[in-house]
A and B are shown apart, each in its own frame.
Chain A
């Protein structure tokens, strides 16, 4: 009897392996934990997009829950995302933009054409802040709490559903 049970061993092994592989089918490899959640927003010193003489640093993100959105004129998905960002601004969310690897002129044109939901935009032509944020493609958004700590990282497009189902609940969660 013991011998018979031993014969089932390959089948058990196969089922375990199959279970692993089956689970792998439903994993989205683009979705992964951000290394920056629960870390302070990285230090930076960048000029404002609309005013080269105004230098901004991380103290900008103190005192209020802020959604930092990394965008660029060259990024088609960012254009599709703008209506959602405008809606978030309408609903009272404070937004700060990072104009990532762009030229000043193109960045301004973009805002003129698609609307400007941002309180202020950081101009990051070299992508240095983007690099410190671990941004590997725009758009990406970071929710920063009142103490300047990153609490949520949204990689990619914020869909209209994401506004009400993901972003607004996260904002509420960190406002207290």
Chain B
């Protein structure tokens, strides 16, 4: 009985490993190529899915796109050429990292503009406070302050 359970357990543990074997395997002689493939398939967005990279998606089109990325890498194309190739067919939608161009200027520029605006605001507020606190009290104000904190006797 114990042996049977052990065998069943081992089979259960084997399950995921066998399932993994069904996933496509690609050979890269060059580790740099493997890195580039991994990063390209992570930054290209699957056009069929709402929010998955082609590296993560099981949809047929994502498989086709991975295959094409692999072929283009083998052909010695640059990353930019490969991204251009995909954008020409599937549009800007497939880029997780939008390019800096007229249409995306607001997208890229707004955070920087907000940061600068915030920094400017902080500087202005700090300077206004400092000026207010360093201003000399008039004789009238001094008398009122002394009265309030009860320092009259000491004078």
Q: Which residues of A come within 8 Å of B, CB atoms?
A: 29, 32-36, 101, 127, 131-137
The answer to whether B50 and A29 have CB atoms under 8 Å apart is yes
The answer to whether A131 touches B48 (Cβ under 8 A) is no
Known A35-B91, A136-B48, A136-B90; further 18 A-B contacts with Cβ < 8 A: A33-B91, A35-B87, A35-B88, A35-B90, A35-B92, A36-B89, A101-B60, A127-B64, A131-B64, A131-B68, A131-B89, A132-B89, A133-B89, A134-B90, A135-B61, A136-B59, A137-B48, A137-B61
A–B Cβ pairs within 8 angstroms, 19 of them = A29-B50, A34-B91, A35-B87, A35-B88, A35-B90, A35-B92, A101-B60, A131-B64, A131-B68, A131-B89, A132-B89, A134-B47, A134-B90, A134-B91, A135-B61, A136-B47, A136-B48, A136-B61, A137-B48
A33 to B91, CA, bound (A): 8
Interface residues of B (CB under 8 A from A): 47-48, 50, 59-61, 64, 68, 87-93
For the complex formed, measure the closest distance between the CB of B77 and the CB atoms of chain A, giving whole angstroms. Answer: 16
**What is the minimal beta-carbon distance from A129 to any residue of chain B, in angstroms?**
11
Closest 6 interchain pairs by CB? A35-B91, A134-B89, A136-B47, A136-B61, A136-B48, A134-B90
- Chain B residues whose C-beta falls within 8 Å of the C-beta of A131 in the assembled complex: 64, 68, 89
Q: Which residues of A contact B87 (CB under 8 A)?
A: 35
Residues from chain B with a CB closer than 8 A to the CB of A136 are 47-48, 59, 61, 90
How long is the Cα–Cα vector from A64 to B129 in the complex, in angstroms?
Answer: 75
Residues of chain B with a CB closer than 8 A to A135's CB: 61
A residues less than 8 Å from B48 (CB atoms): 136-137
Complex contacts, A34 vs chain B, CB 8 Å = 91
Contacts of A132 in B (CB 8 A): 89
From residue A116, how far is it (CB to closest CB) to chain B in Å? 25
Which residue of chain A is the closest to B46 with respect to CB atoms?
Answer: A136
Q: How far is the CA of A136 from the CA of B89 in the complex (A)?
A: 10
- Once bound together, how far apart are the Cα atoms of A127 and B61, in whole Å? 9
Contact in complex: B93, A32 (CB < 8 Å): yes
Closest chain A residue, CB of each to CB of B61: A136
Shortest distance in angstroms between A139's beta carbon and chain B's nearest beta carbon? Answer: 14
Q: Give B60's nearest chain A residue, CB to CB.
A: A101
Q: How far apart are B107's CB and chain A's nearest CB, in angstroms? A: 12
Give Cα A134 to B86, complex, Å.
Answer: 8
Closest to B62 in A: A136
Let me know if B89 and A35 touch, CB within 8 A. Answer: yes
Q: Residue on A with the closest CB to B90? A: A134
Which of B47, B64, B89 is packed against the most chain A CB atoms within 10 Å?
B89
B25 to chain A, nearest CB (A): 20
Complex CA distance for A29 and B46, rounded to whole angstroms:
13
Tell me which of B60, B68, B91, B92 has the highest count of chain A C-beta atoms within 10 A of its own C-beta: B91
Residues of A within 8 A of B60 (CB): 101
User: Which A residue sits closest to B48, measured CB to CB?
Assistant: A136
Complex Cα distance A32/B88, Å? 14
In angstroms, how far is the closest chain B Cβ from the Cβ of A20? 11
